Amino acid sequence: MHEQFNFAIEVLGTIAFSMSGSFAAMQKRLDPFGVLIIAFVTSVGGGTVRDLLLDLPVFWMHDLLMCGLILATSIFSMVFKSLEKNFKVTLFIFDSFGLGLFTIIGIQKGLNVGIHPLICIALGTITGCFGGIIRDILLNRIPLIFRKEIYATACIVGGAAFLLMTKYTPLSFTFIQIFTILLIVAIRTFAVKYHWQMPKFYGYDQNAEM
């Protein structure tokens, strides 16, 4: 049952990030091949970096199911886009859920190979964020993680909550997984709605005095 739920998380995360990448690409008016490429790198980018850091086989190179799922989701997104009027809201929803789902996957992979829990939080953050970073770079945008929005912070808070609940509460593991995913989504949602921001550094602008 536990393995089946983990598989479901991975499938849902792949779908969410594939939809996120597809809608972001369509915002930039890419052709269907471009949409597919952006959807693919958004879905597998974080997991690829994670597996390379852990010196594990890169997951999607041995899993045609996930590759097929990304292809099918991309095609669905391109068909669905004719019905979807608000790309921005749709992109935000799928990106937030993908962030939560993939953060959990990254943390669990780290725990499975005996990595220190604090490093597991970093792995979860990498898994959740790096696909979006690659997506935004390819689309010539400043990645969300480097902008004012709360993004990586949501992964870190969610990851810390996941580890603390796993260690110090009698709650079921499945409940903790679901709670953590929803917590990350909630942090992202409230951060955007109420304009929560991380402090920004302002450099000295020589032109300001000229």
* Residue pLDDT, tens place only, 6-32: 888 889 999 999 999 999 999 899 999
The angle subtended at Cα 80 by Cα 78 and Cα 85, nearest 5°, is 105
pLDDT at residue 67 is higher than 70: yes
pLDDT at residue 3 is higher than 80: no
Q: Nearest CA to 196 among 159, 162, 147?
A: 147
Domain residue limits at 17: 2-146
Using CB atoms within 10 Å of the CB of residue 12, give its burial: 0 to 12 exposed, 13 to 18 middle, 19+ buried.
middle
If you average pLDDT over residues 52-60, what whole number do you get? 93
In the chain, how many domains are there?
1
Q: Is residue 181 part of a domain?
A: no
Q: Is residue 21 part of a domain?
A: yes
3-state helix, strand, coil in the chain (%, to 5): 75, 0, 25
DSSP calls for 106-172: HHHHHHHTT--HHHHHHHHHHHHHHHHHHHHHHTT---GGGSSS--HHHHHHHHHHHHHHHHH----
Q: Is residue 191 part of a domain?
A: no
* Residue pLDDT, tens place only, 131-181: 999 999 999 998 877 776 688 899 999 999 999 999 999 999 999 999 999
Residue 103 in tokens: 């953060």
Q: Is residue 166 part of a domain?
A: no
141-174 burial, b at 16+ Cβ within 10 Å, e below that, comes to eebbbeeebbbbbbbbbbbbebbebbeeeeeeee
Q: Is residue 105 part of a domain?
A: yes
Q: Is residue 159 part of a domain?
A: no
* Residue pLDDT, tens place only, 71-95: 999 999 888 876 666 677 878 888 8
Q: Is residue 185 part of a domain?
A: no
